[in-house]
Chains A and B, each alone.
Chain A
Amino acid sequence: MLRKKITSAYLKNILFKNLFKISSLTSIIILLSLLVFLLKESAPMISEVPFSDFFLSRNWNPDGWNGEFYGILNILYSTLYVSALTMLISIPIGIFAAIFISELSPPLLKTILKPLIELLAGIPSVVIGFFGIVFIGPLIAKLFHQYNILSALNGAFLLSIMVLPTIISLSDDAITAVSDDLRHASLALGANRLEMIFTIVLPAAKSGIIASIMLGFGRAIGETMAVLMACGNALRFTGNIFDPIRTITATIAIELGEVAYYSTHYHALFGIGLVLFILAFIINNIAEMFIKKGHKLKC
């Protein structure tokens, strides 16, 4: 009787251990097969588009009147530009909101605020994009006396809506995780609350906050629908936040539908997809690095 029980518990143990193992392996397999797929589909491009025409040219126009052009510089720049703009908007708001939620708000307000902010992350991006076309875009145009509604700034505002939940939620976790001993010690030494937050708590939670920012940045770079709808998708090179721009994701979304399979254009689209993948991979790894660093500090 006893033996039987042990064996069934033992079996269950093995079963679940393997189930978990398979689950975690699945995600690695999916990631690797994605990478292999991207590499395989973009590889023929190397022989068809010279390296310099891809990486050093600003002209992306696969269906051009004067020929086919596959320069990634403009759309890569625009992707980074709108993401950087997003971070400029969402880092201060995100960190201040996180400080308020974790340090200053009454407990009741916190229990309402945090789920609400996390709910923001669940809004479909197409809805946010629509919001940008009918509301934020016209508002920006009116406020800054611009004629056009679709702009980099419009896209950055929409991306901020999507990125903020990540930044706020993870930064709040990082700040909350800072030991109360530190807070009490600094208050006991005569610091006021603001001094405590800025000189003690924030530096202690630094790695978690930076990690949240990097994860948000990764999200901004990869987002498609909202920027596709809100940014106007002009292929130009611009530094003006009120000008329309086109990102890598929007380019793929627009062009993949019509592309002839296994043409140069098709391979080039996978090529820019690969560049995006590598970019997101690097950013996520940096975030991971900071998360690990944060764990070490706390131990």
Chain B
Amino acid sequence: MNKKVIVKGLVGLMVIGTCFAGTIQIKGSDTIVNLSQRLAEEYGKTNKSVEISVTGGGSGTGISALIDNKADIANSSRTIKDSEIQKGKKNGNDIKEFTIGIDALSIILNPKNKITSLTIEQIGKIFKGEIVNWKEVGGADMPINLYGRQSNSGTFAFFREHVLQGEYSDKMNSMNGNSQIVESVKKDISGIGYVGVGYVVDNGKPINSVKIINVAQKTGETAYSPVDAKNIYSGKYPIARGLQQYTNNKPTGQIKEFIEFELSSAGQSIVKDEGFYPIDGDYKKSNLQNLK
């Protein structure tokens, strides 16, 4: 009898202990991981009672973890699939979406490549393996090497849906993260890759080690650069997307406070610092709806 009481007491203490320690587990998108880390650090400076751990692994991995209750917040660079919302419901959770920033998916080439702009159709054909030599799009005569992401990546899924509308070439290198793609294209003069704009902008300026090309919606239309905020907010850059966070049900307590911080002007200035774009009107509205 006594033993039971002691055990119960211990379990109780442990539960209370974890509540007080206040940890928030954030998991998912590699595109968002650095931004998320910065946001968590800045938030931690003024809120010492909460510990936020941020890990990557890919959008799919993050959403899987959220569904299995292994994460409090899932970072995702693609919007959640219906099937995933249903799985959450099965576990008794109503998954809520927050957009914490805007990303312009950037197409990068080696600086030695002459090409400065491509159309969505050309990029799609290149990654589908239908265009295999740079001379077919006006470049030098050399084979194209593709650097894409692994299938657990939200960027992989977004790019396939919005640019390829088909299957990736089986010759594409499947890289583990945005920075690996940047590193590879840096070294490979025939390489092409796609990464979040935060990975090619440093201190507000585009990096020199890779070339960020302009993208046009269709042949004959003007091509726009992803590193110019104007093109993003006007909708002229064709492959901009929201950077999402998902929670199980409406966030409460510390998770809610943290998300509010991310959406505040202080949080949004960090988003800008990291090379992404702060959210505007429509996103703000739907965020508020899911928060209140």
Spell out A's residues near B (CB within 8 Å): 61-66, 133, 138, 141, 147-150, 228-229, 232-237, 243-244, 246, 254-255, 257-261
Contact = CB atoms under 8 A, between A and B. Distances in A.
- Interface range on chain B (Cβ under 8 Å from partner): 20 to 34
Given A133-B183, A138-B187, A254-B152, 16 more contacts: A65-B168, A66-B167, A141-B187, A147-B188, A148-B190, A148-B191, A149-B187, A228-B176, A234-B171, A234-B172, A234-B173, A254-B174, A255-B152, A258-B60, A258-B61, A260-B67
Q: Say what secondary structure dominates the interface of chain A.
A: loop
Interface in B119-171: 142-143, 145, 150-152, 160, 164, 166-168, 170-171
B70 to A, nearest CB: 11
A70 B167 CA distance: 15
Contacts of A133: 183
Contacts of B111: none
Contact of A233 (B145, B160, B173): B173
A254 B166 contact: no
Interface of B: 57-58, 60-61, 64, 67-68, 87, 142-143, 145, 150-152, 160, 164, 166-168, 170-176, 183-184, 187-191
Contact of B58 (A232, A237, A244, A257): A257
A149 B184 contact: yes
Contacts of B143: 147
B61 A257 contact: yes
Contacts of B67: 260
Contacts of B150: 233, 254
Given A257-B64, A258-B58, A147 B166 contact: no
Contact of A148 (B164, B183, B188): B188
Contacts of B188: 141, 147-149
Residue of B145, B167, B173 with highest tally of chain A CB at under 10 A: B173
Given A147-B189, A255-B152, A258-B151, A244 B164 contact: no
A266 B145 CA distance: 31
Nearest to B173: A232
16 contacts: A61-B167, A147-B143, A147-B188, A148-B145, A148-B191, A150-B173, A233-B173, A233-B175, A236-B170, A236-B171, A243-B171, A254-B151, A257-B64, A258-B57, A258-B60, A260-B64
